Chain A
Amino acid sequence: MLRLLSALVAGGLFGAGLLVSGMVDTTKVQGWLDVFGDWNPTLAFVLGGAIVPMAIAWRVAERRKVAVLGGPLPLMTEGEARPGRNLIIGSTVFGAGWALAGLCPGPALASLTFGGTGGIVFVVAMAAGMLAAPPIRARLDRMQPA
């Protein structure tokens, strides 16, 4: 029960932060990516601001090892896979969609109740894309194993 409450609060704080920061405003996001046009640097402040508390949290996690509500904490020093083909292709494709609509997954959900028809259609299309990803990944791996 406490896990759910904490997750609800974290999600709510994330949503509020996305509102305050302007990440739900597609013109600001598109302005950030529009380096050949009227460039808007706001997102650099959003990302910079978000990294600070999280960098501290990773250091706290390194010392605690165990989450407050139990269970092992992911650690910043634990090994990870090397960046591979799927990471690069996937991120580039994601960036393309991010530019076209000015929405990434978090802000898309945050604006679900006030983004109108376009916002709802975006979330449905995004879910469809997520369902299409595993077969596409399998096909990429058949062409050339990652």
Chain B
Amino acid sequence: MIEQDWIWGLVGGLMIGSAAALYLLVNGRIMGASGIIGGLVDRSGWEGGTERAAFLAGLVLVPMLVVPLYETVETHITSNLAVVIVAGLLVGVGTRLANGCTSGHGVCGISRLSLRGIVATVFYLLGGALVMALARHVLGVI
């Protein structure tokens, strides 16, 4: 099972990177999910907002159309809504303070050897591993 996981991870990763390459070379934009969403949410990116909206439409609609065809896609989102709300707030605040998330800093930043992208990735991995250890193995809430 794990052996298949890494192959699909690699294939999916290549697709993600190709999407970022397309958005960069054709539209001249950096594919950062939190930036694209955040610019619409706080209106800072309403100029050129239709391009952002079109990107997000593809991001939401393609999985909507594809997922019903396969029974293997699973999300496993926790049913503990308190955890979900806290997590969502932290992700929203954190990505906007840092000006980027896994796609912008991780994929687009590391690939251009951006010091900001590398530092951001180190800290969200550290923060994530630390909170995972605390929440799962010490507190037992997730």
A: which residues have CB within 8 A of B?
3-28, 30, 33-37, 40-58, 60-61, 64, 66-74, 76, 80-83, 86-106, 108-119, 121-134, 136-137, 140
Contacts and interface: CB of A to CB of B under 8 A. Distances in A.
Interface string B6-20: 111111111111111
Contact of B63 (A24, A60, A101): A24
Nearest to B23: A10
Nearest to B52: A7
A14 B59 contact: yes
Contacts, number: 488
Given A50-B14, A90-B93, A103 B77 contact: yes
Given A35-B129, A42-B6, A130 B41 contact: yes
A45 B101 contact: no
B31 A83 contact: no
Interface of B: 2, 5-31, 33-34, 37-38, 41-42, 50-52, 54-64, 66-67, 73-79, 81, 83-99, 101-103, 105-108, 110-116, 119-133, 135-137, 142
A80 B114 contact: yes
A111 B88 contact: no
Contacts of A61: 24-25
Given A7-B54, A99-B127, A125 B73 contact: no
Contact of A91 (B55, B66, B98): B98
B77 A20 contact: no
A118 B84 CA distance: 7
A18 B33 CA distance: 12
B126 A54 contact: no
Given A11-B57, A57-B24, A111-B77, A49 B12 contact: yes
Given A105-B34, A114-B63, A130 B78 contact: no
Given A105-B101, A121-B88, A124-B88, A98 B124 contact: yes
A125 B85 contact: yes
Contact of A3 (B13, B27, B122): B27
A8 B16 contact: no
B75 A80 contact: no
A129 B90 contact: yes
B34 to A, nearest CB: 4
Q: Report, nearest first, the 6 A-B pairs whose CB atoms are least far apart.
A: A129-B92, A21-B12, A49-B13, A125-B88, A11-B58, A95-B127
Nearest to A62: B112
Could you say which of B25, B106, B114, B121 has the most chain A C-beta atoms within 10 Å of its C-beta?
B25
